[in-house]
Amino acid sequence: MHLATHFFVSWLLADVVAENDRERCILTFSGILPDIDILPATLMGFSGRSQTIIDVYQKYHHVLAHNFTAALILSAAVLLLTRRKYKTALWAFIIFHLHLLFDLLGSAGPDGSIWAINYLYPFSQTPLEFNGQWALNAWPNIIITLALMAFTIYQAKRKGYSPISMISKKADRIFVETISNRFKR
C-alpha cells in the first residue's frame, strides 16, 4: 500500500500503545520503515536516470526491508532506544508486520500483477504472496487511506495532538486549533 496508508495506521496504533511521545514516534517510524527506500529512489529519480531507478526500486523494494530479518533488527534497535522495554519492541515488531500484511493485501500493479514479498530474505528467495491482492491504486486503498486520515483528524481534535507533534509542537497546536474551530459543534 501507499506510504501515507502505512503512516496513518502506524500512528493510530502507536498512539494507543505508546507510553510517551518518544515511543509514539519510534512505533510510527516502525510502520513506515519497510518503505524507507522510497526516499533515495525518489531523490535519485530526479537525476535523469529515472527509469533505471524505477526498475531497481521495483525489483528490490519488497525484498530489502520487507522481511523477518529486518523486523528482528528493528526490534533490537527499539530495545536499545527504549532501554530494554520489551513491550515496545514487541509492538514495533507487530506494527512492522502490519505494514507487510497491508502490502500483501493491496500492492498489485495496474495490470493485476502480484507484487510478492521476500519474507525470508536473505535466507530464502521464496516469495510470499496473496492471490487476492488488489491493485495499489484500487478503490479499497483509497477508502482505507481516507478513513484512516479522517480518524486521525478526529483523534487529533479529541486528544489535542496530531502526527505533526512528532515534528513541531507549535505547528501541531496551530493545526489542532484550526481543526477544532473548523469542526466546532
Give strand pairing partners of 108: 135
Cell of 57: 526500486
Looking at the Cβ atoms of 34 and 106, the one nearer to Zn ion is 34
Query: What's the closest the beta carbon of residue 141 comes to Zn ion, in angstroms?
Result: 12
Report which residue type is found at 5: T
CB of 53 to Zn ion, least distance (A): 17
CA distances to 47, 77, 137 from 5, in Å: 27, 24, 12
Chain residues in the site for Zn ion (CB under 5 A) = 34-35, 103
For Zn ion, which is the closer residue by CB, 97 or 157? 97
* CB 35 to Zn ion: min, Å: 4
Q: Which is nearer to Zn ion, 108 or 156 (CB)?
A: 108
Of 26 and 65, nearer to Zn ion (C-beta) is: 65
* Minimum distance of Zn ion from residue 84's CB (angstroms): 28
| CA distances (Å), origin 33, targets 87, 109, 134, 175, 180 | 19, 22, 22, 26, 31
Distances from the Cα of 61 to the Cα of 25, 75, 181, angstroms: 23, 20, 41
Cell of 53: 531507478
